[in-house]
Every structure is written in C-alpha cells, then in structure tokens.
Structure 1
C-alpha cells in the first residue's frame, strides 16, 4: 500500500538526486541519431540556432502535472521507515489543439480510475479503467503591446495565472523557454515579437510610446538574423535552410574557370604567358608513354632512331 504525501516528512535539506527522465533521454537519443549523419542539412543550420536548440533539448521542462520532491530522503510516519524520494515526472500527450492555443504547458494526461469506487467488493469487484484527463479550456481575448494586436485565444487557467504573474502576455511569452511554452502558436508569437523588436517597426505614429516599448523590452532585443529562427522546430528549421539554399542561383562552372584563368594571366603564372616570355620558344618535354606502357619493347627502337638522327 502506497503512502500519501502528507505522511512524508523531509529528513535532509539536500536536493533530490539529479536524474535523466525517460522523456529527456528519448529526446537526446533521437537528436543524436539525426546529427550523426554528417551530410544532413542540420549541420548547415546557423550556429546560434543549433546552440539554442541543444540547450532546449538538454533542459528540463517545468513541472505541470506533478510536484517534484524537495528533499532526497523523507520519513514515512505511516510505514515508520525512511524512504528515498524519486522524481517521476508525468508527461502528457501533445495534441494538435494544444498547438493552436496557450495551454501553459498542460497536456492531455493518460491515467487510470477505479471502477465503482462506492460499491462493495462483494457486490461488484473493482478494477482499474483507463481514462484521459483533459485540461479545462476557455476562450479569452489577449492583447500584445509589442505587436499592438488583440487576439482571441484558447487558454487554460494555468496559462492565465502565468500571464498575471509575468504582468502581461508579452513578458510571459518572452521570458518562457520554447520547451515550456509547448505550443506552435506561442513560439510563432514569440518569434513575431522578437522580429518586431529587432526591426523597430512598432508605434511609428507615436514617438513617446515607441521609446517606452524600446526601453521596457530592451533586454529581449536580439539581431534580426537570429530572431527569425526562434521557435522553429528542427524540421521547420531544416526546411527553411533548404529554401534559403535553393533561392541562391547556382554559378556556372565556366565563369569560375574564366576568372581563375584571368587571374593566372594577370599574375604571370599561366603556361601561355611563360611561353610568350621565353625567347627560346616553348619548352618541350619528352613523352614518357613508351617507358610506362611498352618500355621494354620500345626503348631499344627509340635508341636506334636517336642514334641514326645524330
């Protein structure tokens, strides 16, 4: 019989032992297989994107559906013994509907419930029934002062609490990591905010408001070349890199050869320029074909011909 959390009392102030969860291990294993291919397009991605992407892969997601332990060892008053606390995160199921709103990291959780909990076992035996737990959703209107837009978004109560704790939608989106946002809509919104801050295309009609926004969010200003890659998944980033490479027209080989020839002629390192500068005429070299291919048969004949001409 498992004990309840209220029966556990912390014995040591030490933090829990650092572990690698199965979700994090699976992320590392999958990306390691992708980056092993040296010919893959992922190696041609910008360095700042690869650095940010691996920081996200190696980071731990903020606990949402569970409470992590605060100590390593606790005393169980119900069992009258010491227990070793473990960090067992609950990882939910990511849905397409969650990518279209702000769920604050919440997902659909798969669990079990007890059948007929208020019926006696003699009348009806109890057994465990699988169940999906869905977050409570609601539709609200949110305002972003950076892009100056009102948005109708599907959110959860946790997302609204996080927005209130960060004093607005913009601070919540910009301060949160991509792995904690856990939504394509949130990541695209963050990318749009950073691009707007980098380009400075906000409140052009009001200089005071523009100066206020620039000073307020100055800590999040990054170059535009880096901001356009924020929030992209690996497949989206690879597709973007391939489109950038395909947009550049290939240069024909003859133009490169022509330019190299002109450079050699200008520097005087070409064979034609050496022949023109040599007054004695072109330098002739004796062919080595006979010695390499049929040396033992043609060498005596060549000697006789050379002696006859002399």
Structure 2
C-alpha cells in the first residue's frame, strides 16, 4: 500500500512538472542571451554525477522506486568546495525493536589550500576529502574545475572560480611577463577555451544575469529632469556669485525669473 502511494505521488509530480513551463521560457527570463540559457541548463537541469550512491538500472529496486539519494543544500555550503557532496537526511535504527530516529549525515570538511595554474593563485578554501580525491584524479585543480559541469560543482564558490578561469582563458591576460608559460598554458587548456561573450555569462546567478542584461540593453541611462534642473541652478548661482551684474538684463526672460514669487510684508 505504501509502495503504491509513493508510485502515484511520483507520477503526479512528473505530470505537474510537465504542465509548468520552464523558467527560461517565461517573461522576462527568455530575453536573456543563449549563452546564459546554456549555462543555466547545465547548472540546474542536467543530472549530476552520483556521489553518495551507486546508480542501478531499472525503474524499481527492491520494490522501491529507483531514485537518487535526496540531499539538503544550505546557504553555508555555497562558500565551500564539496566535490558534489551535500547533507543527507535519513533514519537510523540502532536495534530491531527500537523506533527509527532521524539523522543527518554531514560531509567531513576541513581547511585546505588549492592552486590554480591559470590564475597563478593559491586559494584557502573549506573543502571535503572527496574534492581532494577529484583534484588528484583530474591531475590538477584547473583540470577538475574545467572538466566538471556546473551541476557537479554545485556551490557558488566553485562556479565563480570556474568563471574566473574561463574569463582568463578568453582574455589571455595571464602571465604577461612570461610569454613561454602563457603559450604553454593556452596549448594545455585549448580544449576548454570558450569565446569571451560566453565566458562573461557563465557562472552568474539569475539575479546577476538579469542586471547584466538590463545594463547591456540600456547603455545610456536617462537622466531625470530634477537632476538636470539642479545642475542648472547650481551653475546659475555660481555665476551670479562670481559676477552679480552679468545676469541683471537676462533675468526677465529666464526660467528662474518666472519661478520667483514676490512676497510683501505689511
């Protein structure tokens, strides 16, 4: 009975998601450029690589729906490099005749230092042992960042670091005093180099992308009239202070003269 209820709930959830149009197809998000659509799909819609479980084929497993282990993400995790790990909520039963109690499995984190060859920078970060294993597996921190999609990096810190690396490869502004080193790095990471306009949109949150899109479409912001009138008044008062006799003849036709009011005291 419980199995049927879970199966019906999963089916209803799939139907509900199918009826809701994707966010990037709705106003005003669909006006964002294709480069950001590509990054956002890689970040939010792609399925991440399994970290805390081993995937099995088929829809069901031991009379239970075969789904990835759900994880909990907190804002504090965005400032860490976790290698795809997150908080897992589950239940633990110490003895057979005892009631299950909830338990949270938190990644084992510690402080370490990573080095980016492209940025030529050492960074002190909070990471997990899984991240160190992935860095060694990819033979370098830059290789791990560039080969991993945004859905596997997951944290904002990791995605922002990848954005800086992609911008550096696109602009080619690293190692200005060592052309040989610069040429070697460009040759080593040539498969991960993207155009500058694509790198500029990579790694932005939805809010940052909306602000960037607004600023790029409105290069010249309209100046409010109150600011214009304020500057004209300030300039007029400065000129009148320096040369009070210069504006006596032209005061009658000026806009400032028309705004003056006469007050008589009796």
> Normalising by the residue count of structure 2, what TM-score does the alignment of the two structures yield?
0.71
For the pair 1:106 / 2:85, whether they are aligned, the reply is: yes
* Runs of 5+ unmatched residues, structure 2: 1-9, 224-266
Distance 1:27 1:200 in 2: 46
Report how far residue 57 of structure 1 moved: 4.0
Distance 2:55 2:48 in 1: 12
Distance 1:190 1:55, change over 3 A: closer
* Runs of 5+ unmatched residues, structure 1: 1-20, 75-81, 252-310
Distance 1:88 1:107 in 2: 16
Distance 1:206 1:197, change over 3 A: same
Report how far residue 232 of structure 1 moved: 1.8
Kindly provide the CA deviation profile for residues 58-115 of structure 1, in whole angstroms up to 9, marking residues without a partner as x: 421111111111x4499xxxxxxx9678531012111122111110111111111125
Report how far residue 137 of structure 1 moved: 0.5
Distance 1:203 1:225 in 2: 22
Q: SS of the counterpart of 1:67? A: coil
Distance 2:16 2:194 in 1: 27
For the pair 1:166 / 2:145, whether they are aligned, the reply is: no
Aligned to 1:140: 112
Aligned to 2:28: 41
Distance 2:154 2:15 in 1: 17
| C-alpha contact 2:43 2:154 (8 A) present in aligned 1 | no
For the pair 1:53 / 2:25, whether they are aligned, the reply is: no
Q: SS of the counterpart of 1:228? A: helix
Aligned pairs for 1:294-305 (under 5 A) are: none
RCO greater where, 1 or 2, for CA within 8 Å and sep 6 or more?
2
Aligned to 1:96: 75
Aligned to 1:66: 53
The one of 200, 203, 228 equivalent to 1:228 is: 200
Q: SS of the counterpart of 1:97? A: helix
Distance 1:147 1:92 in 2: 32
Distance 1:50 1:153, change over 3 A: same
The one of 178, 182, 200 equivalent to 2:154 is: 182
Report how far residue 35 of structure 1 moved: 4.0
Larger gyration radius, structure 1 or structure 2: 1
Aligned to 2:172: 200
Report how far residue 34 of structure 1 moved: 3.0
Deviates more, 1:186-195 or 1:220-229: 220-229
Aligned residue pairs: how many?
213
| C-alpha contact 2:42 2:149 (8 A) present in aligned 1 | no
Aligned to 1:290: none
> Normalising by the residue count of structure 1, what TM-score does the alignment of the two structures yield?
0.61
| C-alpha contact 1:35 1:42 (8 A) present in aligned 2 | yes
Q: SS of the counterpart of 1:110? A: strand
| C-alpha contact 1:72 1:86 (8 A) present in aligned 2 | no
Task: Quote the RMSD (CA, aligned, Å).
Answer: 3.1
